[in-house]
Amino acid sequence: MPRAIVLVLDSLGCGGAEDAAAYGDAGANTLGHLAGACASGRGDREGFRSGALRAPNLDALGLGLVIEASSGAWPEGFSRPRAPGALWGYAVERAHGKDTPAGHWEMAGAPAAKAFFFFPRTDPCFPPGLTEALIAESGIPGVLGNCHASGVEIIERLGAEHLRTGAPICYTSADSVFQIAAHEDAFGLERLYALCRIARRLCDPLNVGRVIARPFLGDADKGFERTPRRKDFAIPPPLGNLLERLVHAGHEIVSIGKVGDIFAHCFTGREVKRDSDMAHFDATLESLRALPDGGLIFTNFVDLDTEFGHRRDIAGYARCLERFDARLPELLAAMQPGDLAVISADHGTDPTWSGCDHTREHAPILAFGPGVPGRAIGRRESFADIGASLAAHLGLPATAQGSSFL
C-alpha cells in the first residue's frame, strides 16, 4: 500500500495571486524576488552566505519552471531541466486571507467555510469587551500593545514594561490572529498558555483564526529573544479533510512541527514538535522509516516564515531554503516504491517586500517519488487539489473539495 509525505515550506509563495492587490500585495513573489535578490548580491552576508540562490535539488524537481509558470518571469539562478523529477505546477488559494490555517486546511482538501475575522488597523485594535473580559477572567493587571505590530519589534519595544508591570503584550497582524507575548520566567510559560486558552474561548464568537502564545526571554540590558516554545490555538478545521479521511480509514498520521496546532489537534495522529526546521527534517526521516503502509507524514517547516520572512531577512531566508534543499537527497533515499511526497506552501512572505506581513501568493506544487514520472500539472484552481490527489494516492474517499492531478 502507498504512503505519503507532505512538506509545507511555510511562506514559500511562487508569485502574486490575481487578487493580491486587495491585500496590498500586487507584485509580491517570494521565490522570484528571493532569487533575483541573491543574484544581485542583496542576499550576501559575510561569513553566512553569498551569491546566487543555490537550490539544485528543488531546481531538478522543476521549481524554476513552477516560478515561471506562476509569475511569468524566469527566476535568476535556476535551470530548465529537460526531464523534471516531479509533477510540477502551482495552486491558487480560494479561501479568503493569507493565513496559515486557511492555507493548510485548503491544502488538506477542505477550505475554510467562511472568512476569518481580522482586527482593524486602529489603535487600539481589539474590541474593548474582548480585552476587558480577558483581564477580568485571567486576573492580569492589563494588556500592553493592543495594536498591529511585528512580533520582534513589539517585544523589543514593550519587553521592559512587561517585566515591570506584569501585563502581557497583546498584538495582531494582517492575519486573523490574537497574539500574546510574555516572558517565560517572569510571567511563566504555563500561565501564558492558560491565558491563551481563555483568549481562544473569548475570540471564538468573532471567528478569529488563531490565538498564539509568543514566549520570550531576556531583559532590557541584554535584549529580548523569542523562544521556540510558541503554541498556536486554532479553531477546528472544516470536516471532510484528508486527515479526517485517514483516521476514519484506520491509517496512521504523524504531524510534525506546528501542524497539530494548526488543525486544533483534530485527526492529527502522533504529534512531534521540535525546535527548528532541521530538527523537523530529522523527525520526518525518523517517522518515514517507521511509517506503515497507507500512512501520512505532514510536516510544517516554519523557520522560513517566522525567523526570516517576517523580518525581511533576505540572506537568512535564502540560507534557510538552501539548507532544506541540501537535505532532499536524504528524503529521496529513504522513500520506498509507492511513496509520494508533495512540497508546497501555505502563503507567501516575500522577504524583499515592505512591512512584515504574509503576502497573498500562489503556492508551488512539486510531487515526486520512486517511479513517479515528472510532468507539468499546470495551474490548479485550489490548494485543495493537493489533498484530493493524496486521497486518491492513498485509496481514500475524495476530500470535500479539490481535483486530483495524479
Position 254: which residue type? V
Pairwise CA distance, residues 99 & 262, whole Å: 10
Quote the DSSP letter at residue 361.
B
Outline where 73-150 has alpha helix (H): 100-107, 128-138
At how many degrees (to 10) do helices 30-39 and 63-71 cross? Answer: 110
List, as residue ranges, the binding site: 10, 305, 310, 346-347, 358
Q: Which of 17, 46, 44, 45 is nearest to 30 (CA)?
A: 17
- What residue type is 192 in one-letter code? L
**Positions at the binding site for Mn(2+):** 10, 305, 310, 346-347, 358
Under 8 Å between Cβ of 397 and 241: no
Listed residue (213, 211, 157, 212) closest to 188, CA to CA: 213
Q: Which residues contact 299 (CB under 8 A, 6 or more apart)?
A: 5, 6, 7, 8, 256, 257, 259, 280, 281, 283, 284
Residue type, 252: E
